[in-house]
Structure 1
């Protein structure tokens, strides 16, 4: 009888362990970390076991699973202490999806999951002034709409400019104060990572009363 009870207990323990070891994982990123622009993104992992237990990683998910107990291989960049460090140029070629292969101490084999990151969907001009004054720098304000639905200003690391007149100084446009012929300037902003994404705007030159 004792042998039977021992065998039953052993089988129950092994069955419980097998359930514990069957795990699925879901990856996410901190939505407040501006993953649309920055290349260092707080990462979160949620582990669901077959027996119903759920464990989350420390960091932005505020779980108890320590990053030092997890080994992660990433198809893009690397994961360091709860942060995903990405190569944004490579990310475009991967359709903005990162595959993570995760090894856990309580799982018999590595598990994989995918994480899709937000990317630029369109760009637009949002001018601060409706006309340009000669001899005064005019800031070219460009905004990007991302697949996350968020809108952020873009700088010259993301877009390049071409103008029909004047001089481009970084993200400023300057028309010489002695210019007496230019009545309007057409400016085009082009996404540096996708030249098919561009936007143009024609900016009138402010005329003085005696001109």
Structure 2
């Protein structure tokens, strides 16, 4: 009897997992620009018919960019070589089990370098304490 109940439970749970059909996909980026010389995580979520969101990985999504040897994906991470010369990157995500569901986004490349020193705690506090100008 326990084996039958266990088998029934597995079937019910399994059906619930596979019943989550994705109707659409969306980019939810963590940043407004991508960095050269780094892996940039490209976050794609799927929306199901019942309105739930599911995170998607390279197991469910085919990622692509413009044909350029300075760009390559490793799972959800897009590496942009420092030799990349354009101001933007266009990323396309296609749902593997339904290629009719896809999205494309153009993302800017960070222009400022990383050599700018960060403000110290004291500098931040001084900025905060400055009297605000009245308009």
TM-score (norm 1): 0.46
Residues 69/163 of structure 1: CA separation in 2 closer, same or farther (3 Å cut)? closer
Shift of 1:144: 0.5
Structure 1, residues 179-209: CA drift from partner, whole Å, max 9, x if none?
A: 3x21111000000000110000001111137
The 4+ residue runs of structure 1 with deviation greater than 6 A are none
* Alignment partner of 2:35 out of 125, 129, 133: 133
- Number of residue pairs the alignment of both structures matches: 107
Q: Which has the higher strand share?
A: 1
On the 8 A contact 1:137/1:172 being kept in 2, the answer is yes
Structure 1, residues 118-150: CA drift from partner, whole Å, max 9, x if none?
A: 311100000000101110111010001001211
Which blocks of at least 5 consecutive residues in structure 2 are unaligned? 114-135
* Alignment partner of 1:169 out of 71, 74, 88: 74
Take 2:52 and 2:88, find their aligned partners in 1: how far apart are those partners? Answer: 32
Q: Which has the larger radius of gyration?
A: 1
Higher relative contact order (CA 8 A, sep 6+): 2
SS of 1:195 mapped into structure 2: coil
Q: What is the root-mean-square deviation of aligned Cα atoms in Å?
A: 2.3
Residues 67/177 of structure 1: CA separation in 2 closer, same or farther (3 Å cut)? same
Which blocks of at least 5 consecutive residues in structure 1 are unaligned? 1-65, 71-78, 92-116
Residues 138/69 of structure 1: CA separation in 2 closer, same or farther (3 Å cut)? closer
